[in-house]
Amino acid sequence: MSLKDRLSLGLLFLVLSCQPPTPAEKLVGRGILQKVVPADRRLIIAHDDMPGFMRAMTMSFEVRDPRLLEKCTPGQRVRFTLEKTDQTLYLVEIEKEPTEEGLPPMPPAPRARHE
C-alpha cells in the first residue's frame, strides 16, 4: 500500500470518527414512584408499558440532574421523560400527574373482622 493510500485511509477513518453522535431519543413513561435513592442518583418507578421500548415493570432509572430528586415523593403517580442513546439511558424530567378531576378519593379498604 502506497503512502498516498495510507494517508487517504487514515483521513477516511478520521472523518468517520468525527461524526456527531446520534441525537438522544426521548421516551415518555408513566408510573408510580416507589423509592428515591439520592446516594445513587436513582428513582425506582413501577411504570406502565412503554410501547416499542419496554414492557411494564419496576425499574431503577439514573437521574441526570440530581436536583430532580428533591421534588420526588414515593407513592406519587408520575410522568417522566427518558433520554436514550446507544450507550446511555437517563431520566431527565419528572412531574407529578394530576389526579382525575371530579372523582372523590378512594375510601380505605374495609378491615376484616376477626370473631
Please, what are the domains in the chain? 25-96 (2.40.50.320)
Would the pTM count as exceeding 0.75? no
Tell me the three state secondary structure of residue 64. Answer: coil
- Cβ neighbors of 97 (< 8 A, separation 6 or more) are 30, 76, 77, 78, 79
More confident residue, 98 or 48: 48
Q: Which three cell numbers stand for residue 110?
A: 374495609
Contact assessment for residue 30 and residue 81, using Cβ atoms and an 8 Å cutoff:
no
Residues 45-96 pLDDT 10s = 999 999 999 999 999 999 999 999 998 999 999 999 999 988 899 999 999 9
